[in-house]
Structure 1
């Protein structure tokens, strides 16, 4: 994505999106801008979890 002329993003945008995913339990914040995907996040990416069923923590 970073090499594509079609995709524009900023670190602030990515950080904001990751924080949102943390509130829904799809990512966990490890510190210093590092995130890890949770088992629920893996399920979502695999199509086994409907995000509409998630509640913000």
Structure 2
């Protein structure tokens, strides 16, 4: 995506989105801009979880 002219994004935007996903338990922040997906995040990606039911931690 980074090499495509079709998609434009900034590191700040990605960082903000990742922080939101951390708040909802879908990612965990490991430090230095590195994130890992949680079991809940995997369930969401697999279509087994409706994220509308999640509350921020």
TM class, shorter-length: over 0.9
**TM-score for both structures, normalised by structure 1:** 0.98
| Stretches (4+) displaced over 2 A | none
User: Could you say which residue in structure 1 is the equivalent of 2:44?
Assistant: 44
Unaligned runs of 5+ in 2: none
Aligned length: 57
Structure 2 CA distance for aligned equivalents of residues 45 and 3 of structure 1: 24
Structure 1 residue ranges without an equivalent (≥5):
none
RMSD of aligned Cα (Å): 0.4
